Each structure stands twice: as structure tokens, then as C-alpha cells.
């Protein structure tokens, strides 16, 4: 407001009014327009990348190596050229992995070659062992030896028990001379077990009747010689020598009939076909696959294990 003199010498009052700006007028809406333009540009970029993605997949050498979403399977990202689709969107069909015809044919040919060259296999599950037991009994029936054979699936694998019957003895009394009938039976078993990758333990058993031979020869020697004789006949019949992990003498300490230890039913030869787990436990027990403290005259020293040792 100013005061001035008028024409008559009187003071004239002049009032000037100034408009007041709002507190937020200096922060206009221009940033909103810029943000909208940025968002629109990003959407356009995303659509362009999504449209050209199939062509990038065909030209990329890594296409087909990673058919799943990289965000789930640990890929480098959706824009690294290895993803089959940037995102899984409703209504958009994702590409389905197609097998390579040439690779499938090569795999089938390799499988056929293995089948023709080597049909041996390893038995693990109870169902597989049961099927093998049925096959062994069927082969034994061909040589009229079912009465001399018992085959059971046990936790350690397959237990094959070869025993006497009322008319035939596997070995002559007090010796390791093998009866021809049981030689044929062992030959049949060798034909079946020769196609099995599982390792075997062969053990000989006698009854509790004391046996005394020359030079202290007793039931331990007798059962060991019988087990070794059975092993040799199996190898002669085609079983690989490396298939047998152990030949054991059991004498009369493991009778089939503990209530009648002198019964002839306790005289037998057993073949234990080991599962992979049972074989691993055996190797831990008798092998050197574990670390241990070795004690000698020079003192004790720590010895590291040799995992996977076949020695």
C-alpha cells in the first residue's frame, strides 16, 4: 500500500494486491508424465523381447540344454538367452522339450550292443532276488535236483543251500569227494550265477559228529575242503573266479537244526549271493577301505582308508 498526493493536494491511497502461490506449486506434475513415459517404454521393451524370444532360442547353441524356467532351475536370468520363455503367463503355451532323434537312436543302439555282448546284471531288490530264486529252482528241476536245493531271500541277498537227501549224499562220508549228481547241480548253478554281477560267499558245514583224521584233520578242515571243492566246480562250470569273495569253513557251529546238531540235515554247502550293501559291509570288515590305527612292534600309527579298494 502506497500513499501519494492527488491533484488537490490530498493524499491518494494506492493498494497493490499480490497473488499467493500454493505450497506445492513448485512441485508440479511433470514427474508423473516422465514416469508414465518410462513405464510405457519398459512395457514396449518387454513385449519386443518376448516376441523375438523364439527366434533367439533357435539361433542360440544352448537351446535345448535348459528347457525349464531358469528362475526355478538356477539359470542366469530371463535375458541370458538360455531360457525358453521369459515368464510363464496364463494362456501362453510354453515350448515342450523334444528328444533329439539322432541321440535317441544312438542310445538305443548302445543298449542293444550291451545286451548282445554282456547280459549280466546285479540283483538288489527283494523282487529281483525272488525272480532269480525261481529261475535257479527251475534250472535245478531240469537235473532232478529240487530236493537237494533250498533258495531263500534274506536281508543280505540270496541264500542258496545245497544239501543231501535220503538217497544221495553230496560228499562221501569223511571226505571232500563230490557225488556226480551234485556236480551236475553245481554246473547248472554256475550257468545261472555266471551271469550275475553280485559277489558270492561259499561256506561248508558239517554235523556235530566228531571227526578225527590223520594229522589233526577235523570237521573244520573237512568243511573247508568241501566248500573249496564246491567253489572249484562252480568255476569249472563257467563262474568267474573273481565272483567269489570268500570260501569259509563253518564246521558244526551253524547247524540248521540246533535241537539236533548231529542230524545229517546240518551237512551242507551254502552259497550266499550278496547285495551291494552287504558286499560293502563285508569289504569294511575284511578290507582296508576305512581309517584305522595299525599296531606293530614299532608302535601304533594311523592309516588312512583306501575307499573302493578291490585288493
DSSP string covering 105-153: HHHHHHHHHHHHH---B---SHHHHHHHHHHHHHHHHHTT-GGGEEEEE
Q: Are residues 148 and 209 located together in one domain of the fold?
A: yes
- Calculate mean pLDDT across residues 245-258: 94
94-108, 164-178, 210-224, 230-244: which is most confident: 230-244
- Within a domain: residue 82? yes
Q: Are residues 217 and 243 located together in one domain of the fold?
A: yes
- Within a domain: residue 157? yes
Per-residue pLDDT, 6: 54
Is pLDDT at 86 greater than 50 in this prediction? no
Q: Are residues 146 and 178 located together in one domain of the fold?
A: yes
Is pLDDT at 111 greater than 50 in this prediction? no
User: Of the candidates 139, 51, 135, 145, which has an alpha carbon nearest to the alpha carbon of residue 89?
Assistant: 51
Q: Which domain holds residue 303?
A: 278-311
Is pLDDT at 306 greater than 80 in this prediction? no
- Using 50, 70 and 90 to split pLDDT, how confident is the model at 291? low
Per-residue pLDDT, 75: 43
Q: Are residues 177 and 269 located together in one domain of the fold?
A: yes
- Calculate mean pLDDT across residues 215-219: 89
- Within a domain: residue 98? no
- Within a domain: residue 244? yes
Q: Are residues 266 and 212 located together in one domain of the fold?
A: yes
Q: Are residues 211 and 255 located together in one domain of the fold?
A: yes
Helix, strand, or coil here: 295? strand
- Calculate mean pLDDT across residues 38-53: 83
Q: Which residue has the higher pLDDT, 303 or 122?
A: 122
Spell out the alpha helix ranges (H) of 157-240: 180-193, 219-236
Q: Are residues 140 and 236 located together in one domain of the fold?
A: yes
pLDDT, the chain, mean:
77
Per-residue pLDDT, 16: 64
Per-residue pLDDT, 70: 40
- Within a domain: residue 104? no
- pTM metric for this prediction: 0.58
Q: Are residues 253 and 284 located together in one domain of the fold?
A: no
- Within a domain: residue 194? yes
Per-residue pLDDT, 59: 55
Question: Do the beta carbons of residue 208 and residue 202 sit within 8 Å?
Answer: no
Is pLDDT at 140 greater than 90 in this prediction? yes
- Within a domain: residue 134? yes
Amino acid at each position: 500500500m502506497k500513499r501519494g498526493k492527488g491533484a488537490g493536494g490530498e493524499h491518494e491511497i494506492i493498494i497493490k494486491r499480490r497473488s499467493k502461490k500454493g505450497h506445492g506449486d513448485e512441485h508440479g506434475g511433470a514427474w508423473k508424465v516422465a514416469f508414465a513415459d518410462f513405464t510405457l517404454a519398459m512395457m514396449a521393451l518387454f513385449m519386443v523381447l518376448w516376441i523375438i524370444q523364439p527366434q533367439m532360442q533357435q539361433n542360440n547353441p544352448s537351446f535345448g540344454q535348459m528347457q525349464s524356467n531358469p528362475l526355478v532351475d538356477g539359470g542366469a536370468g530371463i535375458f541370458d538367452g538360455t531360457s525358453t520363455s521369459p515368464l510363464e503367463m496364463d494362456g501362453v503355451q510354453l515350448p515342450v522339450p523334444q528328444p533329439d532323434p539322432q541321440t535317441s537312436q544312438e542310445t538305443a543302439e548302445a543298449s542293444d550292443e550291451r545286451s548282445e555282448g554282456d547280459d549280466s546284471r546285479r540283483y538288489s531288490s527283494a523282487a529281483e532276488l525272488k525272480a532269480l530264486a525261481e529261475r535257479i529252482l527251475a534250472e535245478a528241476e531240469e537235473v532232478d535236483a529240487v530236493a537237494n536245493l533250498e533258495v531263500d531271500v534274506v536281508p543280505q541277498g540270496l541264500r542258496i543251500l545245497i544239501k543231501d537227501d535220503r538217497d544221495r549224499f553230496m560228499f562221501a562220508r569223511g571226505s571232500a569227494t563230490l557225488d556226480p549228481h551234485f556236480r551236475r547241480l553245481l554246473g547248472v548253478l554256475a550257468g545261472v550265477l555266471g551271469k550275475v554281477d553280485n559277489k558270492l560267499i561259499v561256506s561248508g558245514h558239517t554235523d556235530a559228529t566228531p571227526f578225527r583224521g590223520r594229522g589233526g584233520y577235523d570237521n573244520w578242515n573237512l568243511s573247508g575242503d568241501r566248500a573249496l571243492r564246491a567253489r572249484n566246480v562252480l568255476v569249472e562250470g563257467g563262474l568267474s573266479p573273481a565272483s567269489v569273495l570268500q570260501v569259509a569253513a563253518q564246521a558244526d557251529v551253524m547247524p540248521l537244526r540246533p535241537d539236533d546238531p548231529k542230524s545229517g540235515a546240518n551237512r551242507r554247502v551254502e552259497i550266499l549271493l550278496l547285495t551291494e550293501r552287504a558286499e560293502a559291509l563285508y569289504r569294511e570288515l575284511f578290507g582296508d577301505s576305512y581309517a584305522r590305527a595299525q599296531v606293530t612292534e614299532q608302535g601304533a600309527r594311523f592309516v588312512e582308508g583306501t575307499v573302493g579298494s578291490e585288493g
